[in-house]
Amino acid sequence: MLNKKFYNETYDKFLKTYGQESEMRLCIEEMSELTKELCKYIRYSKNSKSDENDKNLSLIKNNIIEETADVLICAEQIKRIFGEKQVAAMMDYKIQRGRKIVDEDIKNANGR
Ligand SMILES: [Mg+2]
């Protein structure tokens, strides 16, 4: 795995070289590619079992891995453009809120 310094230097180069608008457009494109692959995975998962369907699912799974990497890289660019500290603080808030909700849902499900 590459080190964090290499990642950060590369993110800086992307932004400096291509600019904010280009990085935002790329992020939109990559998010839609991941969306498409997830939709395909769900659709193919519901098909009846066959060798061809298994092969397609395997290809789609690889595409999901690739598109997830693309989206995470782009999300780093968006964080840099709009505020890394603010995004980190919002993630803390969202995770804490989500944790409360899921813990409550688990408690309610077990109480039934
Ligand atoms: Mg892509």
- C-alpha 69 to ligand 1 mean position (Å): 8
Residue 34 lies in a domain: yes
**pLDDT tens digit sequence for 29-70:** 999 999 999 999 999 999 999 999 999 999 999 999 999 999
Domain that holds residue 44: 4-83
Contacts for 70 with CB less than 8 Å, ≥ 6 apart: 30, 33, 34
Distance 35 CA to ligand 1 centre (A): 11
Band (pLDDT 50/70/90 cuts) for residue 81 is very high
Whether 23 is covered by a domain: the verdict is yes
* CA angle, residues 2, 72, 70, in degrees to nearest 5: 85
* Predicted pLDDT at 18: 97
How many structural domains comprise the chain? 1
Residue 30 Cα to ligand 1 middle (Å): 5
Q: Where are the alpha helices (DSSP H) in the chain?
A: 4-18, 20-45, 51-82, 84-111
Q: Could you tell me if residue 31 is inside a domain?
A: yes
For residue 104, is it within any domain? no
Question: In the predicted model, what is the mean pLDDT of residues 69-74?
Answer: 97
Report how far ligand 1's centroid is from the alpha carbon of 9 (Å): 21
| pLDDT band at 1; cut points 50, 70, 90 | confident
Statement: residue 112 has pLDDT above 80: no
Gap from CA of 32 to ligand 1 centroid (Å): 9
The set of residues, in sequence order, having a beta carbon less than 8 Å from that of 69 and lying 6+ positions away, is: none
Is 108 a domain residue? no
Task: Say how many C-beta atoms besides its own lie within 10 A of residue 73's C-beta.
Answer: 17
Residue 106 included in any domain: no
Give the global pTM.
0.90
